Structure 1
Amino acid sequence: MLQRVFDSIISPSTRAFWRESRSSGQSVAEFLHGYIYMRWPYFYIAMGKGTHPLAEKMGEPLARIANMLGLWRPDSPAQGSGGFADTYHGKTIPPAAARKLITVRREITVPDLEKVIPYSMARAIILQHPDHIALLDCPCRLSEPDHCTPVDVCLIVGEPFAGFILEHHPEKSRRITQQEALDVVRRENRRGHVSHAFFKEALLGRYYAICNCCSCCCGAMKAHFAGLPMLASSGYLAQVDAGACTGCGACEAKCQFSAIRVLETTARVDTAECMGCGICELLCPSRAVSLRRAPEKGLPLEPDNLTGTAAAVAADTCSAGRAD
């Protein structure tokens, strides 16, 4: 009886999210955090960025309440320390990696990404119905009075997330195909905007979105520049072929991380600031810029390689078990 009443009141997408939350071992507080984040993303993001009219008056009391309930922990900005940066963060992905994440045809499970996503909490890719993609009007852009356009650039990937967004935000979201998602990423990258795969502890501790970010609007990028390590490098660094570089400045003009500058007619990369997003490579008219693997920057987020690694680890574990 109670179950029927619950089912009649609570929407199907909320029930689906609740079931996965409970099966993954999340607390009720973590479920509520994820529900609030997805149900009212525009209010949540604007309050977090301090751009909402109520932020100045209500920001501190809401933060205290959230901290008391364990909804977030602003206790430490250090990466991997259990602070806020662990609960919500992004992984920079070059255009090729973004295409791979979007075009996954099968359900995949990669539960342990600590070498790829150097945070202690949200670090899994568990794609259920990977072809279920919702295109959402970007909360970060809409929270800015003079924002970049277009605003429909956030891709919510897989279930139960895409279904939840579509059901609760029909006026600001729509279902799209994988090809349409590819077109969104391609257009945004051509504008010089960076693709990030986002993870959030309250959203079942896993990957749920690809956002196409600009430094003037993106909350995570603003936090990154303020010293809060909410973004992880792609695992690549840009490099310039000095002989091919014409010093045109196209890369410098579009770099969202201010990591490449033209000095004495040649572009030079600041490796400390470069996040390996690949936009400079994409937009260089003389093809003088390329990406190189940088082991010191971590491992790339590439589904094929990750699933292969996970399978190899599982096979080794089974072999060890049989040997015992």
Structure 2
Amino acid sequence: MSPWMRPSTLEFFRRAKAKKNYPVTEWLHGWFYMRFPYAYIGNGLGTRQPAKLWLRLRALWRRWFPPKAAPEGISKGGLAWAEGYHGKVIPLQAAREWVTVREPIAAALPEQVIPFQHARDLILEMPDHLALLDCPCRAARENPCLPLDVCLVVGEPFVSMVIEHHPQRSRRVSSAEALAVLEAEERRGHVHHAFFKEALLGRFYAICNCCSCCCGAMQAQRGGTPMLIPSGYRAQVDDDLCAGCGECEAVCPFGAVSAAAGPAQVDAAACMGCGVCVSHCPQEALALVLDPQKGAPLEVHSLISTPPSC
């Protein structure tokens, strides 16, 4: 069978056609993203192997669909990108729940959870279908963090798409294997992000386990493009327990913790609530607390519902 029309591609197009007010341009965008993720993402990160086809398509895309207006301090292109392609930080415990849920989910997430106009649907069909994909961000680097296979694709039709189109760079995994990857990445000090993309049916599709040195979304965030949403929590220090060892400062992926003098201090504005500092504190002096200014957490068990109709 032609690699251009695998069964998963046909299924993806069928679902796209059934989605109301979903333009054909997004069908093609989503297909291109899943078919050529290493060109799509790697070129944006400055890989030494640029995709000429992608460069041409991106130029046409920007001509046909010019970026929308953006608030001061954020580029027009950056805002448009974030509106349709963003990640929600989730602590390890929340990530564990995502790879162990067995019931289908169909929910349109409120703005308190996902504060963007687009890509807010959380629809999981066959949630026990899981796959690991070699991280396109890491693969684009000359000296990437290892291992590469840390992008966890969740549910259909996305799992079948990566397996059929990238058999050499992906593999199906069980919940137990997925849990082991999440926990290993947590030990490495990496962050779990639940990713949503407008071009992928406006839905959640993956949990990426990101390092601050390779991750394109974290790089964009530092550059002023709001691609990442806080978890809904922030870290809090117990001064009585803190020994000022500096371990939390060393592992914080967002540079939100300082232990230069005395007990550690958390910059509430910079903290994304990932929990990496909490899991690495030898004194157990840190904890995650709910912070209304950070939005609402993405909690899977509160969203379990009847199977979606599409």
- Is TM-score (shorter-chain normalized) higher than 0.5? yes
Letter in 1 for 2:178: A
1:218 aligned onto 2:215? yes
Contact residue 129 and residue 158 of structure 1 kept, 8 A: yes
1:14 aligned onto 2:9? yes
Q: Secondary structure at the match of 2:106?
A: strand
Residue 58 (structure 2) aligned to one of 60, 63, 68: 63
**CA deviation vs aligned residue, 1:154-206 (integer Å, no higher than 9, x gap):** 00000000001000000000000111111100000111000000000000001
- Residue 116 of structure 1 and its aligned partner are, at CA, apart by 0.3
Q: Secondary structure at the match of 2:241?
A: coil
Residue 236 (structure 1) aligned to one of 209, 227, 233: 233
- Residue 82 of structure 1 and its aligned partner are, at CA, apart by 6.5
Residue 123 (structure 1) aligned to one of 95, 120, 123: 120
Partner residue, 1:46: 42
TM, length-normalised to structure 2: 0.91
Residue 283 (structure 1) aligned to one of 252, 269, 280: 280
Structure 1 residues 180, 246: CA separation in 2 closer, same or farther (over 3 Å shift)?
Answer: same
- 1:136-147 to structure 2, matched below 5 A, reads 136-147=133-144
- Residue 51 of structure 1 and its aligned partner are, at CA, apart by 2.5
Higher relative contact order (CA 8 A, sep 6+): 2
Letter in 1 for 2:260: L
Identity of aligned residues (%): 50
Partner Cα separation in structure 2 for residue 8 and residue 82 of structure 1:
34
Partner residue, 1:185: 182
Q: Secondary structure at the match of 2:297?
A: coil
Contact residue 74 and residue 84 of structure 1 kept, 8 A: no
RMSD between superposed Cα atoms in Å: 2.4
Structure 1 residues 206, 100: CA separation in 2 closer, same or farther (over 3 Å shift)?
Answer: same
Letter in 1 for 2:17: R
Which range moves more in the overlay, 225-234 or 21-30? 21-30
Residue 304 (structure 1) aligned to one of 279, 301, 307: 301
Higher radius of gyration, 1 or 2: 1
- Residue 264 of structure 1 and its aligned partner are, at CA, apart by 1.4
Letter in 2 for 1:302: E
Residue 29 (structure 1) aligned to one of 6, 21, 25: 25
Q: Secondary structure at the match of 2:259?
A: strand
**CA deviation vs aligned residue, 1:108-162 (integer Å, no higher than 9, x gap):** 1112332201111000110000000110000000101011011110000000000
Q: Secondary structure at the match of 1:150?
A: coil
**CA deviation vs aligned residue, 1:31-53 (integer Å, no higher than 9, x gap):** 11000100010010011223344
Count of aligned residue pairs for this structure pair: 301
Letter in 1 for 2:92: P
Which range moves more in the overlay, 31-40 or 111-120? 111-120
Contact residue 246 and residue 260 of structure 2 kept, 8 A: no
Contact residue 82 and residue 121 of structure 1 kept, 8 A: no
User: 5+ residue gaps in structure 2?
Assistant: none
1:267 aligned onto 2:264? yes
Partner Cα separation in structure 2 for residue 125 and residue 261 of structure 1:
35
User: 5+ residue gaps in structure 1?
Assistant: 1-5, 311-324
Letter in 2 for 1:201: E
Partner residue, 2:96: 99
Which range moves more in the overlay, 7-16 or 160-169? 7-16
Partner Cα separation in structure 1 for residue 85 and residue 152 of structure 2:
16
